[in-house]
Each structure stands twice: as structure tokens, then as C-alpha cells.
């Protein structure tokens, strides 16, 4: 839900919340909060987005980011891997996965 000024009401509610209040009220901890991001310029003119609750591992092959989410008492580990020399964009990979799933569904029907 957006306000007249374009901001997201949920974001406004969550900004002042402490971790324990967020978990108490939502049953979730570790959600993506854009206001907690730190933006850092890179040497090649890009921008890195850094979050305080994310572990980063930078190696020759690429970057790995790990974070944990606590949802209804269960811990979920989320790992993102970014190749140093990607062959396609994340969007292209997602579209290929969707196409593959649709083909499986079509064959099974």
C-alpha cells in the first residue's frame, strides 16, 4: 500500500522496529529492508549494496552472500552466488527456468 507521497506504508511501520518487535509482530526476522542498505561505489563505476546481516565471501570465481531468515520459528539460510564472469543475467536465468518448468508441465499434461 502506497501513501500519497509514494512511500510504502509497510516500510514506514517497520523502520523504527527493533528485531524482537519485528519478530513478535510479523513472525519473521531477517526480511529485506532497503533502508538498512549501505551503498558503496566500485572501482568500475558500479554500486555494491551491503546489508549488516549478510556475510560476504569474495573469491576469484565470484562473490557469495549468505544470510539467515527466521520465519515462524524456522531458520532458513539464503545463499546468493554471483560469478565473476557471468554467461547470462539473473533475469535470463529465471526466464530459462520458467520456460523449462512450463515445458515439463506441458509434457506431463
Q: Indicate yes or no: pTM above 0.85.
A: no
17 secondary structure, DSSP code: -
* Integer CA distances (angstroms), 101 to 16, 79, 97, in order: 41, 22, 6
Beta strand 55-59 with 62-71 is antiparallel
- Answer for the pair 75, 85: CB distance below 8 angstroms, yes or no: no
Q: What pLDDT, in 10s, does the model give residues 10-55? A: 444 555 567 777 777 777 776 667 677 788 888 888 887 777 778 8
Amino acid at each position: 500500500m502506497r501513501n500519497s507521497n509514494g512511500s510504502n506504508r509497510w516500510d514506514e511501520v517497520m523502520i523504527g522496529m527493533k528485531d524482537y518487535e519485528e519478530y513478535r509482530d510479523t513472525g519473521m526476522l531477517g526480511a529485506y529492508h532497503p533502508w538498512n542498505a549501505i551503498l558503496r561505489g566500485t572501482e568500475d563505476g558500479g554500486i555494491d549494496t551491503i546489508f549488516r546481516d549478510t556475510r560476504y565471501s569474495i573469491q576469484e570465481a565470484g562473490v557469495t552472500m549468505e544470510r539467515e531468515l527466521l520465519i515462524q520459528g524456522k531458520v532458513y539460510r539464503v545463499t546468493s552466488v554471483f560469478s565473476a564472469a557471468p554467461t547470462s543475467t539473473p533475469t535470463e536465468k529465471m526466464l530459462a527456468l520458467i520456460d523449462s518448468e512450463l515445458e515439463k508441465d506441458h509434457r506431463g499434461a
